[in-house]
């Protein structure tokens, strides 16, 4: 009957009212935490480890892409400013461009705009390896070159075919100054055929040539 249900409904309402202050307080407390609420625990203190991680992530996100890229860019080779004669010679052949530090630096600057600077860095690392004679140093440098430019896990991995990779893997059993010779030649050829023609038509090369030509006329 309807009359018998009303007292029961009143009891349930009274019971809910008595419990509501605690629940409301808990809800209010949760709301106060807002975006600072810890994702792993109920505390809202600033010393919570997950809040620290979150703050670090936000700080990294605020850093500009230029700052992050600059951290991973090795310094260019030391070299005197190129002469007009040298810059004109770069147009004669890729070999002449790669012969001088000034030429390599200018080409590296261009490769950086195409996100392929690792090709030049790998080639230079191989050249440096060839100058070593100490066995321990050779093994260490070969390992670093492999990790930086050959490993598929590296963000600076260079593009090599399967045959050359097999040769490298065999050579790494007993590293020497010539462990990466085949790979170095392949990357040199790639830069020559693919990047060098675009460099010669790039603003980087044309602006440098124009600047040196004007200085030559003024002199």
User: Tens digit of pLDDT for each residue in 45-54?
Assistant: 444 444 443 4
Q: For residue 8, is it within any domain?
A: no
Higher confidence at residue 146 or residue 59?
146
Residue 62 domain-assigned (yes or no): no
Residue 104 resides in a domain: yes
**Model confidence over 153-206: pLDDT tens digits?**
999 999 999 999 999 999 999 999 999 999 999 999 999 999 999 999 999 999
Tell me, what's the pLDDT at 136? 97
User: Over the stretch 19-42, which tens digit does the pLDDT of each residue have?
Assistant: 444 444 444 444 444 444 444 333
Domain membership of residue 207 (yes or no) is: yes
The residue ranking higher by pLDDT, 203 or 57, is 203
Give me the pLDDT at residue 83, please: 95
Residue 186's domain is classified under what CATH number?
A: 1.10.167.10
Q: Is the pLDDT of residue 3 over 50?
A: no
The dihedral through the CA atoms of 205, 86, 212, 127 has a sign that is positive
pLDDT for the residue numbered 106: 97
Q: Quick one: which of 179, 187, 186, 181 has its CA closest to 143?
A: 179
| Any domain includes 10 | no
Confidence of residue 217 (pLDDT cuts 50, 70, 90): confident
- The answer as to whether 198 is a domain residue is yes
Split into its structural domains, the chain has a count of 1
Concatenating the DSSP letter of every residue in 46-100 gives TT-HHHHHHHHHHHHHHS-HHHHHHHT-PPPPP-PPPPHHHHHHHTT-HHHHHHS
Q: What is the pLDDT of residue 75?
A: 61
Q: Which residues contact 73 (CB under 8 A, 6 or more apart)?
A: 112, 117
pLDDT at 26: 44
pLDDT tens column, 63-97: 333 333 333 445 678 878 999 999 999 999 999 99
What pLDDT shows up at residue 79?
A: 76
Its domain, for residue 128, covers 84-216
Tell me the per-residue pLDDT of 115-146, one tens digit each, with 9 for 90 and over. Answer: 999 999 999 999 999 999 999 999 999 999 99
pTM for the model stands at: 0.65
What is the number of other CB atoms lying within 10 angstroms of the CB of residue 129?
22
92: in domain: yes
Write down the number of H helices and E strands in the chain.
12, 0
Structure-block tokens of residue 152:
């598929």
Q: What is the pLDDT of residue 80?
A: 84
Residue 197 lies in a domain: yes
Q: Minimal CA–CA distance to 166: which of 178, 183, 152?
A: 183
Q: For position 47, what pLDDT does the model report? A: 41
- Model pLDDT, residue 218: 79
Whether 208 shows a pLDDT value over 60: the answer reads yes
């Amino acid at each position: 009957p309807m009359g018998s249900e009303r007292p029961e409904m009143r009891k349930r309402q009274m019971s809910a009212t008595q419990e509501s202050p605690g629940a409301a307080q808990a809800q209010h407390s949760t709301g106060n935490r807002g975006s600072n609420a810890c994702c792993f625990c109920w505390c809202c203190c600033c010393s919570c480890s997950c809040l620290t991680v979150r703050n670090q992530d936000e700080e990294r996100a605020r850093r500009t892409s230029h700052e992050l890229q600059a951290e991973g860019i090795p310094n260019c080779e030391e070299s005197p400013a190129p002469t007009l004669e040298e810059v004109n010679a770069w147009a004669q052949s890729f070999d002449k461009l790669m012969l001088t530090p000034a030429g390599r630096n200018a080409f590296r600057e261009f490769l950086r705009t195409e996100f392929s600077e690792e090709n030049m860095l790998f080639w230079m690392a191989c050249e440096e390896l060839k100058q070593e004679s100490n066995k321990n140093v050779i093994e260490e440098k070969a390992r670093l070159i492999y990790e930086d430019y050959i490993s598929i896990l590296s963000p600076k991995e260079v593009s090599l075919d399967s045959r050359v990779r097999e040769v490298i893997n065999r050579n790494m059993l007993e590293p020497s100054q010539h462990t990466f010779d085949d790979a170095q030649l392949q990357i040199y050829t790639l830069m020559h055929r693919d990047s060098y023609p675009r460099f010669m038509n790039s603003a980087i090369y044309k602006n440098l040539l124009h600047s040196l030509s004007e200085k030559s006329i003024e002199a």
